[in-house]
Every structure is written in structure tokens, then in C-alpha cells.
Amino acid sequence: MNRMSEVLEKRKEIYSLLSSLFLGDVPREFIEDLRRGSFSLSGSVDIEDGIRMMREFVMKRRDVDEAVRDVEDEYSRLILLSHIVPLTKSEAVGDADYGRVSLEVEEKMRKMGYRLKTHSIPPDHISAQLDFIAALIDSSMKGEEDIKDSLKKQEEFLESEMITWIPEVLEELEKSAEFYRGVARFARGFLALDRNVVRELRLW
């Protein structure tokens, strides 16, 4: 595997992981990796702090099963039930669910060839937007789309869409959570780093 492929694979892995976590779908293998200390990614203090916070949370639990249950419980309490932190752009900017903002985001995605993997969440949900980038990366890795064209789409979507609202939401989540405080810190650091990574990849 060449260097470009390695970077693309790692980026897809992180975007897919974050997409799952922001749906409340907690991968057991991820929790196991945290407990073993085998999940790592360098690049910024926020990324490393986020990993440390997540690991501290799971290490306080008896085993992986308890850790997964507690993470899922925190997601339910903080996000599904209380809506303390908005996870859609619509909610973040004060628009109605499936309103103008949601339709605009869906149109952007559709023009770039993406279809939502599930209709249980709107296209402006943070999980859908993270999955969108993962899908673009995957498409380029499979040769279904030219890598340069895909990277251009990724940069455009990151700059015009995700960066405009997600970092602020993540900052709010850090104030209210335990495990998801780590997720938010990690995600914020990763998005900041990935903006630069995409720019560099386009020059390769």
C-alpha cells in the first residue's frame, strides 16, 4: 500500500468511526482498542487529549460490556433525550427539522453523488456529514472516482459545510459530557487537522 492509500484508509476509518459514535452506535472493537491503549492518532493536542479522555472513561469500567453500556447511556441522556447539544445543522442555526437547511445540504450531497445510508437521520446530521466524507474517500479508493476530483469535493464540503457549524457544536458537547467530551475534543482536533491534510493531498 502506497503512502496516499495509507492516508486515505486512515481518514476513512476515522470518519466512519466518528459517524457511528454520533449515531450512538458504539463499536465494541473501538472500546477494546481504547482499553488496550492500541487506538492512537497523532497530529494535535486536541486529538491526543480526546483519546486520553475516552480511555480514562472506559478504564473506570469493569469490562468492555459495561463501558459500551455506559457510553450508549451517556449518548441517550445527553443527545437523544435532553437535546442539550444539537447534532443537526438545522437545530444549530434555529431552522426546522427537514427544512430549508436540511434540503440545501441534501442537494449538495446529491450533486456530489452521495445518497444517505439511512433515512432515520436528516442529511444535515453530523453523523451523515461525517459518513459523506468517508463515502467520498471510499469511492476514490475503489477507483470509482478520480482521487483528485474526490479530494476537491471533500475540501469543498469541509470548508463550505462542516467547518461552518460542527466545531462550535463540539465545543458545547465538551462542556456537558464525559466520554463524549473526549469524542468531541478528538473530532474537533481531527477536523482541524484534516482540512490541512486534504489540501496537502491535492498537491501530491
Q: How confident is the model over 58-107, as pLDDT tens digits? A: 999 999 999 999 999 999 988 877 777 889 999 999 888 889 999 999 99
Terminus-to-terminus CA distance in the chain, angstroms?
16
Structural domain of 163: 3-201
* Residue 196: CATH number of its domain: 1.10.3480.10
Q: With beta carbons less than 8 A apart as the criterion, state whether 21 and 146 touch.
A: no
pLDDT value of position 75: 94
Give the C-alpha distances (Å, rounded to integers) separating 17 from 13, 23, 24, 96, 131: 6, 10, 11, 28, 9
Question: What is the structure's pLDDT at 1?
Answer: 56
State phi, psi for 125 to the nearest 5 degrees: -70, 140
Q: Which residue has the higher pLDDT, 53 or 118?
A: 53
The whole-number pLDDT of residue 48 equals 97
In contact, 137 and 11? CB cutoff 8 Å: yes
State the total domains in the chain.
1
